[in-house]
């Protein structure tokens, strides 16, 4: 049996342990495991916000020419890129994940004229499928092929496939796909890849350039800690930059936005994937987090993240016999994404009871209790304390209380 | 000749004069006339931001279920609606102007199958045209017809016209179109209207429902004072809500976003025009401004705005003889939008010299110096002081200094 003292020893040897001090702790006594939903706030955020508000008050429109507002999408992208295994000019921070999925999918399809098939997963994050369904209202030739849970994606890739449109990590189980292997399989059929990294980036490697990935998108508010509804990002491999003609075209993506020409001329490289005017305050908040990311070694992040998940799983297994907990995520950290899913028939009620006991995690139907783990601010003892509280709640049956019967899955 | 004391008397009789105290003043001695670019900051913004950051720190993902984050796009839309002459359920706040133009144009085209013509203006805001050009990469059947400056738009509307896609206010001259008259003309041909209100909303009436308008969009950061890059908005007349199938489909627009169904089912009414997860902090900042708007009588706003513009024009005319200033905007307030454009061959250099003299305005090629006016925070004496400073700069030739030669048009 692993004891709390064992976990304390792991924390003492953690090369990233000082980083936790750069994040605001939240409510005293509460353990937050929703890095997969809303990551923690960098302690530097209030200063960044104050600085932005002073610029707004005093510069007004001159902020666009005299401050750092205009360049933020590319500057933030450059700071994020190493974590994704990409070059700084291959990532921009902008818009939302759904909108960036639309841009990337439409662009990838345009690079494969004559092919109609989009291969995705029946269990991909639902919004990813809604994006295809929306795009189909304009391109009714798209043949969306969904691979059922558990079946091999490779088998669905054929010579008519334009795009493999995949989530790196299953949002219910955390099962992780091998970006390199599936990208190679898609390329072997002449298809391109669009990866949704939302449940992986900031937790596990993406190695986009080394994997040969074509397009990727992801959200800024989960593991990346960019704040609730933070700007999302787009990666495009440099080899595609000049071939891409954006479907969502706007002045921020124009080669020369302040000449006000009538004709759209795409900006250099990834600049053309920008559309409208970005929220400057949202970018300022996001940058506080990205400045932390830019100062850590991604390899250390991924190693600690795997170790935290392994520990949580082992602690859960040690208490499983008595309490109907199952591990819903792969046991091998190499096959897991950013969270660990434990399964329990109590589902959402258990999550609500956990929150009242100071353990914030999230639920996804039918029975998945997700512990989103952050290598930046979680300690090993947090794993121990969380499982201890879960064990108590299940042992005492607290989750069966009437007040937990109607709980929302958010 | 109008004296400064006359302006002081106008301020004393201004029914909106107390509202100025709800906005942060900026640098001491500086007069800001860039309400058409970046409006002033509500004094309540720092408190709203602090409250949001506390929720982020302490609630994390529970902010989506336990705070007001999720409903913000519709709540903010409801607060904005009266200013646009719309019902609360006809406006949502979301995404950027460019992206909302894309949504609205695609939706309007889908409501007119078999028609291919989009009528717009050669002089509309460029990003509006980029949006059409981007959409054409997916719908190459679109026949974009641009009406040259000065020609009648009505003449271009024919039985093949699907959409009249128009800016309410010319971004160079502030010339304002009559939404009611042009909407009637479009409807008479069986076409729909998409209006870009960015340079009018918060300054002049749109009267969307009374005008019979179909779709409208606009930005939040100009006259509305939502902050640099604030969320934009979409209006759709209620009669179209259920017929619209969104092209940009995402989970925030789903009828039941937290059931995670594979199929997109559009949410009720305008909810379906939401796409991805919105920036909560950007919405919190925007709401501080909208709470001010919700407390003022739009008719008083429009009347004061017209009077401010009339005064600025008269003061400029009184000093025009000696100094090559021309009025570039309509003299009739009923034909003007949110700003007054003065024309001077010194163009951008004059704007830069004005900024150094504590008068912040903006430039648009070739020679337009735009004074963006806010009925919420401008005083009549501000008009007098600004023209006095302009007169001095032009009289002394300060704008001819070498340092002003290379200035940006932002």
A30 C-beta neighbours (distance < 10 Å), count: 15
Average pLDDT estimate for B45-70: 96
Residue listed under structure tokens 């949704």: A196
Q: How many domains does chain B have?
A: 2
Q: Are strands B326-327 and B339-343 parallel, antiparallel or unpaired?
A: antiparallel
Q: Which residues contact A394 (CB under 8 A, 6 or more apart)?
A: A323, A324, A325, A344, A346, A350
A251 vs B309: CA distance, rounded Å: 28
Q: ∠ CA(B188), CA(B193), CA(B199), 5° rounding?
A: 135
Q: Are B410 and A61 in contact (CB under 8 A)?
A: yes
A123 C-beta neighbours (distance < 10 Å), count: 20
Catalytic one of A22, A222, A336, A391:
A222
State which of B260, B293, B326 marks the end of a domain.
B293
Tell me the chain A residues in contact with residue B40 when contact means C-beta distances shorter than 8 Å: 57, 60
Task: Please give, rounded to a whole number of angstroms, the shortest distance from the CA of A189 to a CA of chain B.
Answer: 24
A395 touches chain B (CB under 8 A): no
State which of B249, B268, B293 marks the end of a domain.
B293
**Which of B57, B65, B134 shows the shortest C-beta gap to A248?**
B134
Scanning every residue of chain A, which has its alpha carbon at the shortest distance from the alpha carbon of B263?
A130
Q: Are residues B364 and B243 in the same domain?
A: no
Task: Please give, rounded to a whole number of angstroms, the shortest distance from the CA of A1 to a CA of chain B.
Answer: 32
Give A243's DSSP letter: G
**Which of B41, B130, B249 shows the shortest C-beta gap to A250?**
B130
Q: Which domain holds residue A346?
A: 4-32+297-404
Q: Are residues A273 and A194 in the same domain?
A: yes
Predicted local distance difference test score (pLDDT) of residue A408: 56
Q: Are residues A64 and A84 in the same domain?
A: yes
Interchain CB distance below 8 Å, B249 and A276:
no
Q: In what order do the strands lie in the sheet with A339-343?
A: A326-327, A339-343, A368-372, A362-364
- Judge whether residue B409 has pLDDT over 70: no
**CA terminus-to-terminus distance, chain B:** 33
Q: Are strands B31-32 and A215-218 parallel, antiparallel or unpaired?
A: unpaired
State which of B247, B278, B293 marks the end of a domain.
B293
**Is A196 assigned a catalytic role?**
yes
Report yes or no on B409 lying in a domain: no
* pLDDT, averaged across chain A: 95
Task: Please give, rounded to a whole number of angstroms, the shortest distance from the CA of A380 to a CA of chain B.
Answer: 20
B377 vs A15: CA distance, rounded Å: 53
Q: In what order do the strands lie in the sheet with B368-372?
A: B326-327, B339-343, B368-372, B362-364
Q: Which residues contact A115 (CB under 8 A, 6 or more apart)?
A: A109, A160, A161, A162, A190, A191
Q: Are residues B120 and B210 in the same domain?
A: yes
Q: Are residues A218 and A318 in the same domain?
A: no
Question: What residues of chain A, 300 to 319, have a C-beta less than 8 Å from chain B?
Answer: none
Report yes or no on B209 lying in a domain: yes
Tell me the chain A residues in contact with residue B53 when contact means C-beta distances shorter than 8 Å: 41, 45-46, 49
Q: Are residues B330 and B248 in the same domain?
A: no
Q: Are residues B109 and B255 in the same domain?
A: yes
Predicted local distance difference test score (pLDDT) of residue B322: 67
- Give SS3 for B364: strand
Task: Please give, rounded to a whole number of angstroms, the shortest distance from the CA of B149 to a CA of chain A.
Answer: 13
Task: Please give, rounded to a whole number of angstroms, the shortest distance from the CA of B189 to a CA of chain A.
Answer: 24
Which parts of B104-214 are beta strand (E)?
A: 117-121, 143-147, 161-167, 192-196
Q: Are A176 and A335 in contact (CB under 8 A)?
A: yes
Catalytic one of A370, A371, A380, A391:
A370
Q: Are residues B139 and B120 in the same domain?
A: yes
pLDDT-derived band at A321, boundaries 50, 70, 90:
low
- Rounded to 10 deg, the angle between the B280-293 and A280-293 helix axes is 160
- What are A126's two structure tokens? 């639902």
Task: Report the CATH number that the domain containing residue B273 is assigned in CATH.
Answer: 3.40.640.10
Residue listed under structure tokens 């048009």: B409
Per-residue pLDDT of A169-214, as tens digits, reads 999 999 999 999 999 999 999 999 999 999 999 999 999 999 999 9
Per-residue pLDDT of B117-137, as tens digits, reads 999 999 999 999 999 999 999
Q: Which residues contact B324 (CB under 8 A, 6 or more apart)?
A: B344, B345, B394
B289 vs B109: CA distance, rounded Å: 33
Residue B30, sorted as left (phi over 0), alpha (psi -120 to 50) or beta, turns out to be: beta
Task: Report the CATH number that the domain containing residue B382 is assigned in CATH.
Answer: 3.90.1150.10
Report yes or no on A37 lying in a domain: no
Average pLDDT estimate for B45-56: 98
- Rounded to 10 deg, the angle between the B4-12 and B298-318 helix axes is 180
Interchain CB distance below 8 Å, A26 and B275:
no
Instruction: Quote the pTM value.
Output: 0.97
**Which of B96, B137, B254 shows the shortest C-beta gap to A247?**
B137
Interchain CB distance below 8 Å, A229 and B279:
yes
Q: Measuring CA to CA, which residue among A67, A70, A80, A5 is closest to residue A256?
A: A70
Write a three-state SS string for A115-160: CCEEEEECCCCHHHHHHHHHHHCCCCCCEEEEECCCCCCHHHCCCC
Scanning every residue of chain B, which has its alpha carbon at the shortest distance from the alpha carbon of A64?
B410
B259 C-beta neighbours (distance < 10 Å), count: 11
**CA terminus-to-terminus distance, chain A:** 33
Q: Are residues A147 and A215 in the same domain?
A: yes
pLDDT-derived band at B319, boundaries 50, 70, 90:
confident
Per-residue pLDDT of B257-298, as tens digits, reads 888 889 999 999 999 999 999 999 999 999 999 999 999 999
Q: Which residues contact A190 (CB under 8 A, 6 or more apart)?
A: A112, A115, A159, A161
Tell me the chain A residues in contact with residue B251 when contact means C-beta distances shorter than 8 Å: 98, 126-127, 130
Report yes or no on A21 lying in a domain: yes
Per-residue pLDDT of A107-159, as tens digits, reads 999 999 999 999 999 999 999 999 999 999 999 999 999 999 999 999 999 99
Interchain CB distance below 8 Å, B99 and A250:
yes
Tell me the chain B residues in contact with residue A364 when contact means C-beta distances shorter than 8 Å: 260
Question: What residues of chain A, 271 to 290, have a C-beta less than 8 Å from chain B?
Answer: 275-283, 285
**Which of A131, A246, A410 shows the shortest C-beta gap to B65?**
A410
CA dihedral A205, A208, A214, A220 (to 10 degrees): 60
Q: Are residues A281 and A393 in the same domain?
A: no
**Is B221 assigned a catalytic role?**
yes
Q: Are A84 and A197 in contact (CB under 8 A)?
A: yes
Sign of the CA dihedral with B82 first, then B87, B88, and B90 last: negative
pLDDT-derived band at B159, boundaries 50, 70, 90:
very high
Predicted local distance difference test score (pLDDT) of residue B301: 98
Q: Buried (b) or exposed (e) across A134-148, using 16+ Cβ within 10 A?
A: bbbbbbeebeebbbe
Q: Are residues A14 and A64 in the same domain?
A: no
Would you list the DSSP string of A79-129? HHHHHHT--GGGEEE-S-HHHHHHHHHHHHHHTSTT--EEEEETTS-HHHH
Tell me the chain B residues in contact with residue A134 when contact means C-beta distances shorter than 8 Å: 246-250, 264
Per-residue pLDDT of B200-257, as tens digits, reads 999 999 999 999 999 999 999 999 999 999 999 999 999 999 999 999 999 999 999 8
């Amino acid at each position: 049996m692993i004891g709390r003292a064992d976990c304390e020893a792991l924390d003492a040897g953690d090369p990233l342990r000082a980083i936790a001090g750069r994040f605001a702790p939240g409510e005293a006594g509460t353990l937050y495991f929703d890095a997969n939903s809303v990551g923690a706030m960098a302690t530097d955020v209030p200063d960044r916000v104050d600085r932005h508000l002073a610029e707004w008050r005093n510069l007004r429109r001159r902020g666009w020419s005299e401050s750092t507002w205009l360049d933020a999408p590319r500057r933030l992208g450059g700071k994020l890129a190493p974590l994704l295994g990409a070059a700084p000019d291959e990532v921009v921070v902008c818009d939302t994940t759904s909108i960036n999925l639309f841009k990337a999918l439409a662009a990838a399809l345009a690079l494969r004229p004559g092919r109609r098939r989009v291969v995705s997963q029946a269990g991909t994050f639902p919004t990813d499928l809604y994006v295809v369904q929306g795009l189909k209202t304009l391109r009714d030739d798209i043949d969306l092929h969904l691979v059922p849970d558990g079946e091999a994606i490779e088998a669905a890739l054929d010579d008519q496939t334009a795009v493999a449109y995949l989530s790196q990590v299953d949002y219910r189980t955390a099962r992780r796909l091998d970006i390199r292997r599936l990208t190679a399989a898609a390329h072997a059929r002449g298809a391109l890849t669009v990866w949704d990294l939302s449940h992986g980036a900031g937790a596990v490697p993406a190695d986009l350039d080394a994997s040969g990935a074509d397009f990727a998108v992801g959200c800024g508010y989960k593991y990346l800690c960019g704040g609730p509804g933070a700007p999302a990002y787009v990666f495009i491999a440099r080899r595609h930059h000049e071939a891409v003609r954006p479907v969502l075209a706007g002045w921020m993506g124009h080669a020369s936005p302040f000449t006000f020409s009538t004709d759209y001329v795409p900006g250099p490289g990834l600049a053309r994937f920008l559309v409208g005017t970005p929220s400057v305050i949202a970018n300022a908040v996001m940058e506080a987090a990205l400045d932390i990311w830019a100062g850590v070694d991604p390899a250390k992040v991924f190693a600690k993240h795997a170790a935290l998940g392994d520990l949580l799983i082992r602690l859960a297994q040690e208490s499983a016999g008595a309490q109907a907990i199952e591990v819903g995520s792969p046991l091998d950290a190499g096959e897991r994404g950013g969270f660990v899913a434990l399964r329990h028939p109590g589902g959402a009620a258990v999550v609500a009871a956990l929150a009242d006991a100071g353990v914030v995690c999230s639920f996804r139907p039918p029975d998945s209790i997700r512990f989103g783990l952050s290598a930046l601010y979680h300690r090993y003892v947090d794993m121990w304390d969380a499982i201890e509280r879960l064990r108590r709640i299940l042992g005492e049956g607290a989750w069966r209380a009437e007040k937990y019967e109607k709980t929302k899955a958010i």
